Amino acid sequence: MIAHPTLRTSHNSISTPARLRGLSIARYFGICTACLALWCTDSHLYASPKTNDLRALNSIREIYRAEIEYESTYPANGFACSLTALGGDPKLGSSGPMAAQLISTDLASGIDNGYIFKITECQKETINGIEKAVSFKVTAIPQIPGKTGIRSFCHKESGELTADPEGGAHCTVTLIK
């Protein structure tokens, strides 16, 4: 009987295959962890542009709903003029007008699933001596049009949702009026 050289030693006991000798378990798991971290970090690059498109549409609707909730929770402020005001980490304390904890910290960072999110056209008015935001527009634009997403999206405080089929900044196609 001939023993397989990478599975049996001369003492007929099972050993580590030759190609894995010298590769410690810690190093092996370190490499696996690094690969997994890279894959998770850049997952938007591996998702299809169409998938990211749908995710961006859901995210822009989430931001719009958060704006409506923010305005009703903090009526003296009106709408939030930044994503950070809508975000916030619950581990860092209670919510407030500077960090309302209405959207995820990932979305509040402004970059999610291959899209760049911003709150623009935040117009303020002074009412009874108090300045408050009375309008806003949320935009979602692909980081790399055609690669990380197809269309751009815009959502106004009026509820109007529009898109730019080319992935640019000009949302002219009405999706919801």
| pLDDT tens, residue by residue, 138-158 | 999 999 999 999 999 999 999
Q: Does some domain include residue 34?
A: no
Q: Does some domain include residue 119?
A: yes
Give DSSP secondary structure letters for the chain.
Answer: -PPPTTTB-TTS-B---GGGTT--HHHHHHHHHHHHHHHHHTHHHHS-HHHHHHHHHHHHHHHHHHHHHHHHHSTTTBS-SSHHHH---GGG---BTTB---S-HHHHTTEETTEEEEEEEEEEEEETTEEEEEEEEEEEEESSBTTTBS-EEEEETTS-EEEETTSSS---EEEE-
Q: Does some domain include residue 74?
A: yes
Q: Does some domain include residue 122?
A: yes
Q: Does some domain include residue 155?
A: yes
Q: Does some domain include residue 18?
A: no
| Containing structural domain, residue 111 | 48-176
Q: Does some domain include residue 27?
A: no
| pLDDT tier at 3, thresholds 50, 70, 90 | low
This model's pTM is above 0.85: no
**How many domains in the chain?**
1
In the prediction, which pLDDT does 125 show? 94
